Structure 1
């Protein structure tokens, strides 16, 4: 451990006023509040060093007059030294100059009071300590007391940064280097994905399933108990998050995909995939769900594994389309919009998981048959932006977005273009398209990416499209456009998506496997992925008592005649389906039969 103390001088800061916040960037000088206050400080700098990185814990003790708002500044001696991730302060860096500002809860320091913050850093060549600090623009003078740093990286992950004001300054800094290296632009490119052995075994239990059983699919963490799973040495399953990560290391793959899926009041407009947490249990979501996942994914042993998190499917768009005033609006969607459970829950997941250098967060962004209309398109982009800035998150915690997760929207419609007209009428007038601006997922994903960039996301964000069940092959797949007798005949005869209505989402009859996972298939698209493991049910076709919090949604009942959200159409669901997430071999068989491209 490397400890260095800088003692204050007795300088007076005259005619100074203002307050500060902890920011990294150019050295910002902010004064103390009183015109004749004496700024005197004692700074203790403690680090754990390893090759290429370090964790620093910085304690400021005010030995002058009371300070209401502070800014600590210093210069790294080595130009390669960089702040990577901080906590309990807002830290920014420009060149070698670093500025740290207080947060809302730790800005006031009475005479003799202390506060601490910390950060993970990187370096190359050498990692010398800073030689000077300033507090609100006044230099703290003193000497150093170094000790010998450790020669090997510690073995315990850094503790989670506090989410509430600490009552006493932390005394023990995190002891482990941050995992991973710099993120790549596309984590799927030239990379091999994890094969979930539990899904593989189920796939191979169905005749012909071995043709696709080595395909990479996502692991769904849909309840708190799924984090730990079961001791596999005792009961052979189910596997927990750490089990899957260890298996990924054993397989020697480059990436693994997880679905983060347990928001309070989850899936507020659908009963089949309701979750275990009530609408007001955001603190439980943070402490018992996200924080344990972060602790496991942040383990240094996984630093060279690209961990891809799909963040909370079917959540944020509900706040635009399924609240009061919209067809089929629900009281639960009103509640989670009003109490901020979705926005703040997603923001917290992004901030915590995104602080791990080898984690890639992709937020769910619905599909064209949900938000493709002008009235939904931009408002959904805006609420995704709001969530990306909530609960400590920032745009840096968002690597991209995913569309069509666990859905059936066709990737491409080769015979029905949204610009087509029949006898002078636009195909947008057809009952199927219903004035939507899009008719397939690829054009929607590319357009929505542009909208997300326009509302403030990084220009390099990438899109994913879940193609696990949107192939629509088999004998019913059209080979050309429909007849030109009417817009409905033209669209219905030529569309490859054979659902009764684009709002139908549960265990769709006639669906097939879609494009196999592929990296960078189209401009703006990071990958086609199989996030919904084929053969896992969307929901039960009748009410089935269970202990997983899964309800019964009539959209999964093949006899259901519909509601306002699906144009009062038949559900198109398969019969005899088990609860959401359970293995459904009849569906898996159908998906293989109707695969497009066909299976060999």
Structure 2
């Protein structure tokens, strides 16, 4: 989200500029000459947020100051040096000679009166890299807010660390993400030195995790991680708040410590202490990317009432409203901290991609985002595929394919879903959420920590169209038995490495679930975390209505969820896609 307040220095510059305009309009006797000076029709804020000598990353925010909205916006400028603007995000960037033209994406093509849009790109140069001096928005010359020489940047732009009162549109853009030392050390010990420097999220999955680390081998509390992030020179830290009352009502492996009615304990002993730590001015330079309560709200759509997938626990949580209240409170409390970016969980395509789940979930999320004192301004976006295995992209078939005139939607694997992969689902859900009332600048994080599906069983081309099911099953890279399978999946591999702004509407590919941490156990293991044995983690389990009564596809011998599972980690390394070099 674009910041609404400029730093004090820029406010002073604006006041001085306004004073100069007024002085020029006043005569020697102090009387106004002619008419008042009109406000500029547009403002462009151009920043070089990273420069490595022969290349750079730029972040640009354009604001429409006119009284009416502007459709199909276009920004233009000329470089004074030999800069070349390359690949961009949140807009289409093109260059001819020294002239650069940036056109709006289809999903964010309108600038409301007072509204802003942010985009960025990577460029190259030799010699000097001066900022452009003149910008135009749809042909109208704008005034320029580009800071002073040596200015570290406006915290309202991606690429800057951020200060209280300002948020950026995409907290991943230009950021240096924190690498969790706990997970990194474990990955190195376990044969994963090649990936040990990848950023992963910090999970707060019970009250004690705030001060002493989350499950398993993790030893650091929240403040420890924040201090370590500063020591690393990181500008962003990813975390997951995951401790709702009656947590994960449709599963047992990841149920938590709080009972269904303990909403006050959730607020006062979990969210409030987290907020107190994150509010420390010491951490104001860090962007805190917070994924809010995975596997919660969608259960109130899919696993309640007369549906064959319903559970008594989910019916209870729907009736008492504590999922909605808990998420709303977390958004309100943490969203009040200027450098926190909240992302609400949206499950995955194999859960919510059907018509009777898709739009109702978006509406329910809006209800939660506007409860307990929260507003949609506390929501930076959504998180898809967290701790799940859905393929990022299916390269060999799409939802529009057919075999002998029959749509792939009728195949056993797709089963009338409207999506076959996570990226198409995430982009469509973002649009649906905007229709439901969320801001138009929301983005989506896609968890790619375990959805690579590489290795010897990955198809390299589309299968022959001998029959509908044979074509889909032979073409799909997602090798699960059923899209409803979620526990420690055999054959899975590491997915795309973390990357900012990889596609329209997508804020990042990110490793939210730390690779190597179990999804759950098939046998009861004594613990103080509220976690129980789950049949979906048993490789011999024959399934239920939520996975089409299919085999679970789980690896054998798994520990409790969140604890290190060496056999799974080795499988993720073997089947990584892209492969590990």
**Normalising by the residue count of structure 2, what TM-score does the alignment of the two structures yield?**
0.71
Query: Are the equivalent residues in 1 in contact too, given 2:449–2:513 (CA < 8 A)?
Result: yes
Instruction: Name whichever structure is richer in helix by fraction.
Output: 2
1:452 aligns with 2:433: yes
Matches within 5 A, 1:12-23: none
State the match for 2:172 in structure 1: 188
For 1:544, what is the secondary structure of its paired residue?
A: coil
For 1:559, what is the secondary structure of its paired residue?
A: coil
Q: Deviations over 1:258-302 (max 9, x none)?
A: 100000000000000000000000000000000000000110000
In 1: Cα distance, 2:515 partner to 2:164 partner: 31
In 1: Cα distance, 2:218 partner to 2:340 partner: 25
Deviation at 1:349, TM superposition (A): 0.1
In 2: Cα distance, 1:543 partner to 1:482 partner: 42
1:465 aligns with 2:423: no
The list of structure 1 runs, each at least 4 consecutive aligned residues, that deviate by more than 4 angstroms after superposition, is: 50-53
Count residues with an aligned counterpart.
424
Query: Are the equivalent residues in 2 in contact too, given 1:506–1:573 (CA < 8 A)?
Result: yes
Q: Deviations over 1:494-548 (max 9, x none)?
A: 0000000000000000000000000000000000000000000000132212111
State the match for 1:229 in structure 2: 212
In 2: Cα distance, 1:327 partner to 1:590 partner: 33
Matches within 5 A, 1:482-521: 482-521=463-502
Deviation at 1:328, TM superposition (A): 2.0
Identify if the C-alpha distance between structure 1 residues 237 and 494 changes in structure 2 by more than 3 Å, giving closer, same or farther. Answer: closer
State the match for 1:360 in structure 2: 341
In 2: Cα distance, 1:230 partner to 1:218 partner: 12
State the match for 2:201 in structure 1: 218
Deviation at 1:346, TM superposition (A): 0.1
In 1: Cα distance, 2:375 partner to 2:218 partner: 36
1:414 to 373, 395, 411: 395
In 2: Cα distance, 1:575 partner to 1:237 partner: 23
For 1:211, what is the secondary structure of its paired residue?
A: helix
Query: Are the equivalent residues in 1 in contact too, given 2:183–2:218 (CA < 8 A)?
Result: no
Query: Are the equivalent residues in 1 in contact too, given 2:518–2:565 (CA < 8 A)?
Result: yes
Matches within 5 A, 1:182-581: 182-207=166-191, 209-229=192-212, 238-581=219-562
For 1:526, what is the secondary structure of its paired residue?
A: strand
For 2:439, what is the secondary structure of its paired residue?
A: coil
In 2: Cα distance, 1:237 partner to 1:378 partner: 38
Deviation at 1:179, TM superposition (A): 5.8
2:569 to 565, 573, 588: 588
Query: Are the equivalent residues in 2 in contact too, given 1:179–1:300 (CA < 8 A)?
Result: no
Identify if the C-alpha distance between structure 1 residues 239 and 280 changes in structure 2 by more than 3 Å, giving closer, same or farther. Answer: same
Q: Deviations over 1:136-187 (max 9, x none)?
A: xxxxxxxxxxxxxxxxxxxxxxxxxxxxxxxxxxxxxxxxxx9634111111
State the match for 1:140 in structure 2: none
In 1: Cα distance, 2:194 partner to 2:566 partner: 15
- Structure of higher RCO (CA pairs closer than 8 Å, 6+ residues apart): 2
**Normalising by the residue count of structure 1, what TM-score does the alignment of the two structures yield?**
0.69
Deviation at 1:52, TM superposition (A): 10
Identify if the C-alpha distance between structure 1 residues 561 and 374 changes in structure 2 by more than 3 Å, giving closer, same or farther. Answer: same
Q: Please give the root-mean-square deviation of Cα atoms over the aligned residues, in Å.
A: 1.9
Identify if the C-alpha distance between structure 1 residues 51 and 201 changes in structure 2 by more than 3 Å, giving closer, same or farther. Answer: same
Q: Deviations over 1:316-347 (max 9, x none)?
A: 00000001211221111011111111001000
Identify if the C-alpha distance between structure 1 residues 237 and 535 changes in structure 2 by more than 3 Å, giving closer, same or farther. Answer: closer
Query: Are the equivalent residues in 2 in contact too, given 1:483–1:490 (CA < 8 A)?
Result: yes
In 2: Cα distance, 1:401 partner to 1:466 partner: 11
In 2: Cα distance, 1:406 partner to 1:431 partner: 24
Query: Are the equivalent residues in 2 in contact too, given 1:429–1:435 (CA < 8 A)?
Result: yes
Query: Are the equivalent residues in 2 in contact too, given 1:181–1:303 (CA < 8 A)?
Result: no
In 2: Cα distance, 1:499 partner to 1:545 partner: 30
For 2:226, what is the secondary structure of its paired residue?
A: helix
In 1: Cα distance, 2:431 partner to 2:227 partner: 37
For 1:224, what is the secondary structure of its paired residue?
A: coil
Gap regions ≥5 residues in structure 2 = 1-7, 12-161
Q: Deviations over 1:297-318 (max 9, x none)?
A: 1100000100010000000000
In 2: Cα distance, 1:218 partner to 1:230 partner: 12
In 2: Cα distance, 1:543 partner to 1:326 partner: 28
